[in-house]
Structure 1
Amino acid sequence: MKKYSGTKFLSITLITVALLTACNKPAGNFEGIQRTTSNATNVADADVTENVKKALQGDPALNGFDISVTTLKGDVRLVGVVDTQRQIDIAIELTQGADGFHTIHNELSIRK
């Protein structure tokens, strides 16, 4: 009877360890999910907004344009009017380079 009890205990222990190990998956991309977040974590919305504004103001192609940047829970919203589609693309690329962004909502339009 002692041998059976020890075998039962060992079996339960091995199953528990296997289950706990299977739950310990590394963080990262999973197939079919695109990564839209930056590497930074726990970055304040005000810091994200400031990082994006500095990047936009520092680019010569966007200098002089009034682009509004607001951030809520890592979701960055770009609002404004520019001259070309290329300027919109640059603004999005610069925003993607900012630490702490989660998603970009592009509300930029081209002046007609």
Structure 2
Amino acid sequence: MNNYRGTQLFSIALFSLLLLTACNKPPGNFEGIQQNILNAVNVADANVTKNVKMVLLENTAMNGFDINVTTRKGDVRVVGVVDTQNQIDTTIKLAQGADGAHTIHNELIIKN
């Protein structure tokens, strides 16, 4: 009976030690996981930007203007100078039709 009691206490002590050791384990590579997520978002944003630029270049009425396109989390920002309100409307409509674009932030201005 004494031998069984000793084995039981040893097992409990060993199990407790393992639990305490596991609780003190340093965190995993969460920075690497976060970086991979950021890279995935950036790749998708880069593709959206490319899609919007391609749509604008393919439109003969808009390809002569210097319109800067940036994307963050699917939100597209178009910045530049155009000649008419109709060109602003066309740019916004084209950008909205590009693959992956969620929201278009219009920062286009009309040249005086």
Output the TM-score relative to the length of structure 1: 0.61
Aligned to 1:93: 93
Cross-structure match for 2:61: 61
Deviations 1:2-22 (A, max 9, x none): xxxxxxxxxxxxxxxxxxxxx
Q: Once the 2 structures are TM-superposed, how far is the Cα of residue 97 of structure 1 from its aligned partner? A: 0.6
Tell me how far apart the structure 2 counterparts of residues 81 and 73 of structure 1 sit (CA, whole Å): 24
Which runs of structure 1 show a deviation greater than 2 angstroms over 4 or more consecutive aligned residues? none
Higher helix share: 2
1:88 deviates by 0.5
1:21-62 alpha-carbon deviations (Å, 9 max, x no partner): xxxxxxxxxxxxxxxxxxxxx880000000000001111111
- Which has the greater radius of gyration? 2
Q: Which amino acid aligns with 1:52?
A: V
- Total equivalences in the alignment: 71
Q: Which residue of 2 aligns with 1:108?
A: 108
Q: Secondary structure at the match of 1:44?
A: helix
Q: 5 Å matches for 1:1-112?
A: 44-112=44-112
Cα distance between partner residues in 2 of 1:52 and 1:87: 15
Unmatched segments (≥5 aa) in structure 2 = 1-40
Bigger Cα displacement from structure 2, 68-77 vs 97-106: 97-106
The gaps in structure 1 that reach 5 residues or longer are 1-41
1:70 Cα deviation after fit:
0.1
Identity of aligned pairs, percent?
69
